[in-house]
Chain A
Amino acid sequence: DIQMTQSPSSLSASVGDRVTITCRASQSISSYLNWYQHKPGRAPKLLIYAASRLQSGVPSRFSGDGSGTDFTLTINNLQPEDSATYSCQQSHSTPVTFGPGTRLEIK
């Protein structure tokens, strides 16, 4: 199975800041990398698919980049509602696997 890691495991930032979360795959997954946002008691939400494609309805302050083994999720102009856990997922090989998540706190 492909192992996914994320860094940092948690971070705190202020409204208006820009933050970057990193995801790394244990082997090359081309651009088969997706990002999800999840909040307690809520359905997880697809943000980015195929490494850099913004899911319909997701604000343009979210962006993704990378290919191969290293990927980033960047959130510009942080908003209070961005407080959540962000997880990456590889869709290159079965079984699909997820990163451990990055918890983002808005100060």
Chain B
Amino acid sequence: GAVVSQHPSRVICKSGTSVKIECRSLDFQATTMFWYRQFPKQSLMLMATSNEGSKATYEQGVEKDKFLINHASLTLSTLTVTSAHPEDSSFYICSAQDRVVTGELFFGEGSRLTVL
């Protein structure tokens, strides 16, 4: 079946640095991808909707200048956490929708960010 791959699965960085997380749809074209954040023992909160070739749509309360999203191709969306701080430490999960063929939605395995 279709697979959504996230990289890296774990990343540790120092406070003030920027971290990029990639989300790839491996065998389908994803015109739309979604980025979620999940704190320990909490639910998934939608951060933004990423559309190929256009600007991302951010949810209320999400800083677009801090969480940069780029969806440059039909199979790749990236989330860059700029000037990361310890409070940005979280589990970031992407999902991608195969709108072209099946309409199904697939989630990635998540990326654990730890900011020291």
Are the chains A and B members of one assembly? Answer: no
